[in-house]
Chain A
Amino acid sequence: MSFMRLLAVARKELIHILRDSRSLGIVVVMPVTLMLLFGYGVNLDLKHLPVYVFDRDGSQQSQDLLKRFQASEYFQIVRVADSYPAVTRALDDGDAKMGIVIPWDFSERISQGGQVQVQALVDGTDDNTANVAIGYAEAVVQGYSSQVQLNWLQSRGQSIQPASVSVQTRTWYNENLESSSFIIPGVLALVMSVIGAFLTSLTIAREWERGSMEQLISTPVTAMEIMLGKLAPYFILGMFDVAVCAFIAISWFHVPFRGSYWTLALSSALFMIVVLALGFLISVLAKNQFAASQIALLITFLPAFLLSGFLFSIEQMPIVLQWITRILPARYYVSVLKKIFLKGTPTAMLSADLIPLAVFAFVLTLVATRSFHKRLE
């Protein structure tokens, strides 16, 4: 291994990146764009859900119930409809996500001490939002129901304070249940998949396409020196982007960072090696820029996006998909990211994620080195 030859390759590769506005754009603009996009654009929190109400009763009691909905930050009554079809139409048009229909005998039944049901119509096109909305609606109605029972008892002259059991919840790690805190750490995995696999898959395939690989391999430079020299600038740029993303996450989006920066650097370096080796392997096999970039996106970016636990939690996936995620390096990296950002898990307790990452890094590097020969066939 000659350091001089390795350096010669690395230096030329860095010049390629700096002179190519598209590569430079991907290195500089893409991480910031992705951070802002996911930080602001993707919001899984439910707040101020637009609600239409149709109050057939129009009594004091029904107004009390609706006030409770209005008071909740999860719902916003956007219109009091005058007919049932007006509610269904609003759901059809998407003007309302939920419709609440109070029956005509609502107050009458309450005063008789009977059972009464309130109808809630929910737009189930987004099942996640619908489920959450139903839960909140049930809670609101439950609260009203308890109040009614209490009032009834008190009206009978019983001044006892009824016993009640309630759950006092306290959320750990992501105290405010902000979905941005859940999502943003995982953006790092996306950024690195693009820098690592996508960009490197282009650069090596480009050499084959332009014929410069033939000139390169006619010199005494070894396959290992070509590989390391080509990947070194991307490694450095990728690590730089990790720092930029972490900075934006912490200082701009106020995502808590409770772990160690060294663990962040270590896990990022391991994941970077994984995606670089993958990108290299792809371009060695594809030898064509277009095919290489498509394959790179397909096998690194997409899984990092869909199956890494970045947006969708792995525990809720079908069991088969859960098994598939085990062979995805991004899954382990995203898991480490979430733990060191939100939980501050000590490095020693991250071995379940760090060891698989290290194994992937080692095996893929080995395969990538073996795959590249200084031959034209």
Chain B
Amino acid sequence: MPESTNSVVVENLVKRFGDFTAVDRLNLNVAKGEVFGFLGPNGAGKSTTIRMLCGLLRPTSGRAQVAGFDVSRNPESVRQNIGYMSQKFSLYNDLKVIENLRLFAGLYSVPSAKLKNRIEWALEMANLKGQENLITATLPGGWKQRLALGCAVLHQPAILFLDEPTSGVDPISRRQFWDLIHHMAAEGVTVFVTTHYMEEAEYCNRLALIFRGKMVALGTPSELKRDSMTGELLFVDCEPLGTAVETLQSAPDVMDAAVFGNALHLVVRNAAVAQPRIEQYLRDHSVTVRRMEKIRPTLEDVFVSLTTTREAAEEHKP
């Protein structure tokens, strides 16, 4: 494998399906040993990107290099150096745990001298020791995900692509799964992971926010929270919520209003200036304000803010 500090290099990557542009001029680099998060709503182009990087889809244009190999020209060399977990659970349900592991060991040509050790290691890592002879179909969701991860890393790949690895898995298993990811990253494996869970995004070293095929932001979680918001964030606990959201859309100072749980998050240019004015405005519209304060934005706020700005910009285009 050619020596390079970047495990993944993407330049102007485009994927079109007919008239639909799934991935639009994407540029990014992922450093070795990094946990890189690819965040976006369903249909944003996350899976399409990851599939191009694994050589499963041919890019329409642009270039992508994985582990130093071009994904269009040299997909087989790419595959030898990566592990991939697709979005849908896609091991064989009618095979036993150990049979799935042996299958992927065979497919990745794990040498027989190493085979026993690698399978032991995978069972240990996936916390499936003693469960080797269970039929995969009978495993709980979290166990299946760990088995799938085990199968994807049997050959000690340099780069791991995980496409929504924790969707449909309970929160505790999700937490355990992320511990595993960090464990691998600590051993030098580059992890490229897509998710639409905002709280998971916080576990990544770096994030790309993708929306409608385009990257709308890139940075560490704290960078994104600090820099990507235009304006400041106000938390408003008030009643009735519905009336409040409606009236606030046309209120002065409010750039955006969204419901978060049973309260509102408002984006304003300057919180200190806006707060008393909005309180007054709400009272005038017979909304009871229980609490209002300036808060630090979460990634979800950042994401909502960036996507609404983007949507507004696209709607104003001729």
Supply 28 A–B pairs (Cβ within 8 Å), ascending by A.
A2-B109, A5-B106, A5-B107, A8-B102, A9-B103, A9-B106, A9-B107, A11-B102, A11-B106, A15-B94, A15-B99, A16-B92, A19-B94, A210-B90, A212-B90, A214-B86, A215-B90, A215-B91, A216-B107, A218-B54, A218-B79, A218-B86, A219-B104, A219-B108, A220-B76, A221-B107, A375-B56, A375-B58
Expressed in whole angstroms, the Cα–Cα distance for A113 and B82 within the complex equals 101
Taking CB atoms, residues of chain B closer than 8 Å to A377 are 57-58
Expressed in whole angstroms, the Cα–Cα distance for A4 and B91 within the complex equals 19
Sorted nearest first, the 7 A-B pairs with minimum C-beta distance are A8-B106, A218-B84, A215-B90, A219-B107, A211-B88, A211-B90, A212-B90
Taking CB atoms, residues of chain B closer than 8 Å to A221 are 107
Taking CB atoms, residues of chain B closer than 8 Å to A314 are none
Which of A20, A220, A376 has a CB less than 8 Å from the CB of B80?
A220
Interface string of A217-241 (1 = CB under 8 A from B): 1111110000000000000000000
Expressed in whole angstroms, the Cα–Cα distance for A331 and B58 within the complex equals 42
Which residue of B has the minimal Cβ distance to A20?
B94
A16 touches B94 (CB 8 A): yes
Determine if A7 is an interface residue (Cβ-Cβ < 8 Å): yes
Interface string of B173-212 (1 = CB under 8 A from A): 0000000000000000000000000000000000000000
A214-B88, A218-B82, A219-B108 provided; 17 other pairs, C-beta below 8 A? A4-B109, A8-B107, A12-B92, A12-B103, A15-B95, A16-B92, A20-B94, A211-B90, A212-B91, A214-B86, A218-B84, A219-B107, A220-B80, A222-B76, A374-B75, A375-B58, A376-B57
Taking CB atoms, residues of chain B closer than 8 Å to A20 are 94
Mark B residues whose CB is within 8 Å of A: 51, 54-58, 75-76, 79-80, 82, 84-86, 88-95, 99, 102-109, 148
B79 touches A12 (CB 8 A): no
Interface string of A343-377 (1 = CB under 8 A from B): 00000000000000000000000000000001111
A220 touches B57 (CB 8 A): no
Expressed in whole angstroms, the Cα–Cα distance for A19 and B92 within the complex equals 12
Which of A11, A211, A214, A217 has the largest count of B CB atoms less than 10 A from its CB?
Answer: A214
Interface string of A1-35 (1 = CB under 8 A from B): 01011011101100110011000000000000000
Chain A nearest CB from B46 CB (Å) reads 15
Chain B nearest CB from A128 CB (Å) reads 48
Taking CB atoms, residues of chain A closer than 8 Å to B103 are 8-9, 11-12
B99 touches A12 (CB 8 A): yes
B92 touches A219 (CB 8 A): no
Which of B56, B57, B91 has the largest count of A CB atoms less than 10 A from its CB?
Answer: B56
Expressed in whole angstroms, the Cα–Cα distance for A377 and B103 within the complex equals 25
A5 touches B86 (CB 8 A): no
Expressed in whole angstroms, the Cα–Cα distance for A219 and B100 within the complex equals 14
Taking CB atoms, residues of chain A closer than 8 Å to B95 are 12, 15-16
Which residue of A has the minimal Cβ distance to B107?
A219
Which residue of B has the minimal Cβ distance to A214?
B86
B84 touches A215 (CB 8 A): yes
Chain B nearest CB from A4 CB (Å) reads 6
Which residue of A has the minimal Cβ distance to B82?
A218
Taking CB atoms, residues of chain A closer than 8 Å to B57 are 375-377
Chain B nearest CB from A6 CB (Å) reads 9
Which of A19, A211, A219 has the largest count of B CB atoms less than 10 A from its CB?
Answer: A219
Which of B84, B95, B106, B108 has the largest count of A CB atoms less than 10 A from its CB?
Answer: B106
Expressed in whole angstroms, the Cα–Cα distance for A2 and B107 within the complex equals 9
Expressed in whole angstroms, the Cα–Cα distance for A376 and B88 within the complex equals 14
Expressed in whole angstroms, the Cα–Cα distance for A211 and B103 within the complex equals 16
B92 touches A212 (CB 8 A): yes
Expressed in whole angstroms, the Cα–Cα distance for A218 and B84 within the complex equals 7
B90 touches A376 (CB 8 A): no
Taking CB atoms, residues of chain A closer than 8 Å to B58 are 375, 377
Expressed in whole angstroms, the Cα–Cα distance for A64 and B148 within the complex equals 87
Expressed in whole angstroms, the Cα–Cα distance for A15 and B93 within the complex equals 11
